[in-house]
Structure 1
C-alpha cells in the first residue's frame, strides 16, 4: 500500500524557527510526537521530544532553529513498510511526505495502525508476544523519582510500570512526562519547595508522578484488541497483565510495527569512537542517525563499520569506514581532516556513490 492513501494534509502541528522550544513542546503529548518547522513556507525540520529532551537536553528557552532535527523523508510513491521502518529507527511517529521535493503532508503511526489492523498477524493472542518478552522493568510506587530516572537511562526504556507493595499494577510512569516536568522550573519546581529545589522533586515518591488510569489486557486477548485499545484511547502502549493484576509484559506501537514487518528492525551501522570529546560525540550521534537511515533503506547493504579517531585534542579527525554488501567484498573508505562535520559529510557522499555504483 502506498502512503498516499493515508497521507494527512490538515491539522498538522506547525511552527517557525524563531519559536521557543517550550512553546512547541507544550502542544506535544508524547516522546514520539512531532511539530513541523517551516521557514517562509519551506519545510526545514521537526521538533521531537525524544531528540530535544531525552536524547539531547536543550534549555526550555532555546529557539526551535537550534533544536530542530532533520527527520527521514518519504516520497508519495513509497509504501507503508518503509514508513514503518523509518518510524522505528527515528523514534518519530509523524514523518513528512514529499512529491518532487515539495512538502505535501505527513504520515502518522495512528493512520498506519488503522490500515494494518486487520492483518492476519494480529489475530493471534498476546501470549505470543509474552513468549518473546524482554526483561520487564518495573518500579515500586514508594521509590523516589531519582531511581526512575536511573532506570530510564540504564535500560533505555520510555515507560516504567509502577507496582504496589503486592506487585500489582498501580500506574505507569513515562520518561517524557518526567523530563518535561523537570525542564520547566518556573511552573513546576514550586511543587518541591518554595525555592524550586529540583533535588526535592527527585526525592519524592514515584506515585506522585505516575498516571493512575492504566489500561490492561489479558494474555488471551488478541493483537487486534490491543491495537483497537491503542487507537480508541489514543495511547502508545498496552500493559499485559495476569488475572492477579500483576504485569506480564508491555506491548508498544513499535512491537506492533515490528510484528507487522515480521522481522526485527536493526541499523546496519556500527561506530567505534576513540578519544572523542563530548562536543565531537554530539556531531557523530547526529550524523549516525542520518547515515544509518540512508543505509537502512538499502537492502543490499549488509554491514557498515566505522572507526572515528580524534587526534591532537581535536586538531585532526581520522576515519575508516568499511562497507560490506551482500555478495561483494568489503570496501574501505578513509577520510581525514580538521573539520569533523566536513569529514563525516564526505564519508556519507563517498559511501552513497560507492553503493550506487555497485
Structure 2
C-alpha cells in the first residue's frame, strides 16, 4: 500500500472564483477530463467545473455563473492508497482530484498523469494491448465521417463517452472526434453564432458533417504493442487516448487513461472456467467467443463463486442455440443459468441478466 504524500502538487492548479462564467472557466481547460478548481474569496475549496458534468451530463449555458454549475468531486485523503485514487479517477471521469487532510484542509491536487507515471506502478503496464482489448466488455463506438454533428452528440450522451472513432464508408479509420471540440459551439450564445464572422451558423451547426470537426492526425498502435509503450506515448504527446488498428488500418478499439488506471487497481484473477462448445456456426462464433473470453473476468464480481462450467451448443437443423452456465460455489450446490433460442446476442444478454440477478440475490 502506498499513500499519496509524494504525488500531490500545488503547481498548475487552474483556480477560478464562483462569480466567473462557465464560458470563461471552460476556456481554461483543454480536455473533457480537465477540472478548474473553484475557491471562495477566503480560499475555501468549493468544487470544480468539468466539461463532462457541465455539458454532457447537463447543459449549462456559457453565461451561467460558476457557483450555479459546481460539481463536487470525490475527495482524496492524504492517507489514501494509489489504488483508491485510481478507482476515484475512474468513477468520477475527472483526471484532477483535490487532496485533503483528515480535518478537511485542502492540501493540493493529484493528477491521473502523476499517478500513472509513479515508479511504483511501472510493472503493472507490462502487458500487450491485445490482452486489454479482450477484457473490454463494451464495443468500440464509431461514427461515419459524413454523419451529422447531432448524431455524434447523441452517441456521446447515450454511451457516456467523450471520444468517437471516425470511419469512412470502407470502415477504415478517418480520424477521431472529441466532445471537447464542440464546446465553443455549445456554450456560445445563439445570437453571436448568427453573426457573419466566419463561424459555423448555429442553425446549421447540428447538421454539419462530423468530418468538418474531427482530427485526422491520430496516434495509433497495434494489439501486439505493449501498454508500457502506449503509456510512454500518452505522456510524451500529452494526449488522452490511442486508437488500436489492425494491419489494414481498420479500428479495433481505443485505449484511454481509464485502461491504465484499471491496471493500477489490484487485479482480480479470472475464475477458472471450463468451456465446451458444439456445432457453432461461424456467425455465432463471432458473437459468442468474445463473451466466453470475458466470462472468467466477469465472474470475479460474484462473491463465493470459485469456478464455472459453460456448455453452448447449436443444433444443426434450425440453428437453435442453447447455453448452460454452472456457477460452482466454495460450498453447496452449483447454481445453473441457461437460455435457449435462435438469437445468439439475445442469449448472451439473457445469461448476463441472470448472472447479475444471482449476484444481487447473494448480496441481500
Please report the TM-score for the alignment, with normalisation by the length of structure 2: 0.68
Q: Which runs of 5+ in 2 are unaligned?
A: 269-359
Distance in 2 (alpha carbons) for counterparts of 1:80 and 1:58: 33
Distance in 1 (alpha carbons) for counterparts of 2:196 and 2:208: 8
Measure how far apart 1:157 and its partner are: 2.0
Matching residue of 1:136 = 140
- Equivalenced residue count is 270
Is the Cα–Cα contact under 8 Å of residues 18 and 67 in structure 2 kept in the other structure? yes
Q: CA deviation digits over 1:283-338, x for unaligned, max 9? A: xxxxxxxxxxxxxxxxxxxxxxxxxxxxxxxxxxxxxxxxxxx9x996xxxxxxxx
Written as runs of structure 1 = structure 2, the 5 A alignment for 1:1-358 is 1-39=2-40, 40-99=42-101, 100-115=103-118, 119-133=122-136, 134-185=138-189, 189-190=193-194, 197-262=201-266
Please report the TM-score for the alignment, with normalisation by the length of structure 1: 0.69
Q: CA deviation digits over 1:211-250, x for unaligned, max 9? A: 1210000111100011111111111111111111110110
Distance in 2 (alpha carbons) for counterparts of 1:225 and 1:253: 13
Is the Cα–Cα contact under 8 Å of residues 185 and 196 in structure 1 kept in the other structure? no
Greater radius of gyration (CA): 2
Measure how far apart 1:116 and its partner are: 5.6
Measure how far apart 1:118 and its partner are: 5.4
Distance in 2 (alpha carbons) for counterparts of 1:85 and 1:135: 22
Distance in 1 (alpha carbons) for counterparts of 2:196 and 2:228: 42
Measure how far apart 1:205 and its partner are: 0.9
Alignment RMSD, CA only? Answer: 2.7
Is the Cα–Cα contact under 8 Å of residues 124 and 222 in structure 1 kept in the other structure? yes
Measure how far apart 1:185 and its partner are: 3.6
SS at match of 1:5: coil
SS at match of 2:97: strand
Distance in 2 (alpha carbons) for counterparts of 1:216 and 1:192: 38
Distance in 2 (alpha carbons) for counterparts of 1:161 and 1:81: 30
Matching residue of 1:278 = none
SS at match of 1:6: coil
Query: Where in structure 1 do 4 or more consecutive aligned residues deviate above 4 Å?
Result: 190-197
Is the Cα–Cα contact under 8 Å of residues 117 and 227 in structure 1 kept in the other structure? no
Is the Cα–Cα contact under 8 Å of residues 21 and 65 in structure 2 kept in the other structure? yes
